[in-house]
Structure 1
Amino acid sequence: MPVSKGEALKSRFFAKRLVSGWLAGVVLSAGLCHAAIAQTSDLVSHNALRVCADPANLPMSDKAGAGYENKLAELIAAKLELPVTYTWYPMATGFIRNTLRANRCDIVMGYAQGHEMVLNTNHYMTSAYTLVVPKTGDLKDVTELSDPRLKGLKIGIIAGSPPATHMARNGLIGKARPYNLVVDRRHESPAVDMLADLAKGEIDAAILWGPIAGPLVKEGYPDLEVTPLMKETLPPRLFFRITMGVRQGEKVWQRKLNSLIRRNQQEINALLIDAGVPLLDDMGTSRLESTQ
């Protein structure tokens, strides 16, 4: 059917409007994508690896840089060809709010996988709670909390930590000595106190998170032995995968760190094993004795 000159002009007009609208949409989408990238990366410093850390949290971190998380930060910074700077804050209530979320720093070196307060990188280590006992004596080869040799003993435990549930299930709570869970390490050191009590014979055994127990025992308690609790089959689980934590939404930064972890995993393992951290496989069922 013939098309009038007026209808043809009208069709061209609407076609131009359609193309213009499409182009505007492309430009808008590009702008939004650019804005999203800016939002997820511009807050991260390009001049330094800005680390959020506890100033008195050995064996993990301290102001002197003696902790293994300090050394891990130095390793990551070297790969990025950046210096390390710190925002110090006690690892207690308000830590993430006053450091990472306040944009005062860009990374927490150690954070449990799945924690909602941060965006987790891929994990760089798996470890577990451990039983610490004297190297000589009846407990040196105990590997699980159901072992009858633990009955009636005075065992140190961080109150509210996952192993406490297993202790209760196995009838070990009655004589347990509890130590505080959330403290300001500048004024109180429950893990250090627990190991000191064990060394003095005030308690018979200690249950501690492996990445704390292993390095502390290696550094100062040659007569104690650290055994990862890998045989507990009932919940709660006693092994955890540890990641680096970044701000929620910072996917660009997360991916960059994931790549660094993947490419340098053997070097990270070597650093942690040298510190005395008991490393396990991803399922928490066997110990990594070397980096191979």
Structure 2
Amino acid sequence: MDKKFDFLSKALLTTAAAMALFAGPANAASDAKSDEAPLRVCAGANENPYSLKSEEGFENRIAKVLGEAMDRDVEFVWEDRPAIYVVRDLLDKDKCDIVIGVDTGDPRVLTTSPYYRAGYVFVQPSNSKLEIEAFDSEDLAKAKNVGYEPGGPAEVMMVKYGLFSKNFNYVKSLTNFKSSRNQYLRIDPALMVGNVSSGKSDVAIAFAPSVARYVKESDGKLKMTGVPDNNFRFDGEPVLFHFDQSMGVRKDDEKLLAEVEEALERAKPQIHEILIEEGIPVEEPTKPPSDTKS
């Protein structure tokens, strides 16, 4: 064998061994992440602005931040039906691992500590002459075509103040007059806000995370006024309008719950930034972590 070739061969082998020694831990860490099963996120395919198949929903963005904090790839498992079905049809059947946004204490799942709190809002034109700050505001009775989700807390209060019948046809028009019998009908929040912007409706009442994006996109033409959390039914029972928001996993997956809790703590600053960018008026959660398991 040529001595020069023999020397070069030995030198290359020595160099390769040294590189393998130093690269080993990094490669091992990389391989560990690639070997880790992806975090399968239950997601609505057309649940704007929360989740969209284009991954432009703000909960899609939060899911990716969570995945980074857990050092796991994120894989969205899409549901074409309304997101209300993802727990029953995807999570409970082990087709996905986690739901990004649920009410804290949702009895269908184990919920994390709340990572933000938000309330309902009145959406109006910024230059509206109607002063609406609560359901008992006199100007709410003067408003034309008040939009809201049927069956929700806003409807309860509209009934209490005698405004349900007046707005019945308009609210039905938001679902194209489809019957809600034996099916869940979701009103597109962009439609409700768009109608306020165009003048077709004087006010919309909605959960802030569902409409904040569209109010922000109006460049100041629309405003949100928070619904106070001091509302009661005829019988004196409270009607809640502000809710802590958590992530949910299967009832038997306490291991994943603990892992998500740890990652949430690390990811909080980035998640808060996403919520603020979305235009959501974020409130401090009220429920203590010890109350989140259900």
What TM-score, normalized by structure 1, do the two folds share? Answer: 0.74
Displacement after TM superposition at 1:209 (Å): 0.9
Q: Aligned match of 1:80 in 50, 70, 80?
A: 70
Give runs of aligned pairs for residues 99-178 of structure 1, distance below 5 A: 99-139=90-130, 142-154=132-144, 155-176=146-167, 177-178=170-171
Task: Say if 2:276 is the partner of 1:273.
Answer: yes
- Residue type of the alignment partner of 1:51: V
Q: Distance in 1 between matches of 2:69 and 2:212?
A: 27
Deviation string, structure 1 residues 163-201 (Cα, Å, up to 9, x no partner): 11122222322322324587577xxx5322212221221
- Residue 197 of structure 1 is matched in structure 2 by 195
Relative to its length, the structure with more helix (as a share) is: 2
- Residue 71 of structure 1 is matched in structure 2 by 61
- Residue type of the alignment partner of 1:121: T
CA RMSD, 1 decimal: 2.2
Identity, in percent, stands at 27
Residue 244 of structure 1 aligns to a residue whose secondary structure is strand
- Residue 226 of structure 1 is matched in structure 2 by 224
Deviation string, structure 1 residues 12-40 (Cα, Å, up to 9, x no partner): xxxxxxxxxxxxxxxxxxxxxxxxxxxxx
Residue 175 of structure 1 aligns to a residue whose secondary structure is helix
What TM-score, normalized by structure 2, do the two folds share? Answer: 0.74
- Residue type of the alignment partner of 1:279: V
Residues paired across the two proteins, number: 236
Query: In 1, are the aligned partners of 2:42 and 2:77 still within 8 Å (CA)?
Result: yes
Distance 1:151 1:143, change over 3 A: same
- Residue type of the alignment partner of 2:39: L
- Residue type of the alignment partner of 2:122: L
Q: Distance in 1 between matches of 2:83 and 2:97?
A: 18
Displacement after TM superposition at 1:221 (Å): 6.2
- Residue 53 of structure 1 is matched in structure 2 by 43
Residue 151 of structure 1 aligns to a residue whose secondary structure is helix
**Larger RCO (alpha carbons 8 Å, 6+ apart):** 2
Query: In 2, are the aligned partners of 1:76 and 1:260 still within 8 Å (CA)?
Result: yes
Distance 1:46 1:220, change over 3 A: farther
Residue 258 of structure 2 aligns to a residue whose secondary structure is helix
Deviation string, structure 1 residues 100-143 (Cα, Å, up to 9, x no partner): 1111110111111222221111111100111000000213x532
Deviation string, structure 1 residues 240-292 (Cα, Å, up to 9, x no partner): 111111001111111121222233323221111111122112359xxxxxxxx
Q: Aligned match of 2:244 in 241, 244, 260?
A: 241
The structure having more radius of gyration, on CA atoms, is: 1
Residue 259 of structure 1 aligns to a residue whose secondary structure is helix
- Residue type of the alignment partner of 1:144: A
Query: In 2, are the aligned partners of 1:143 and 1:231 still within 8 Å (CA)?
Result: no
Residue 54 of structure 2 aligns to a residue whose secondary structure is coil
Distance 1:64 1:168, change over 3 A: same
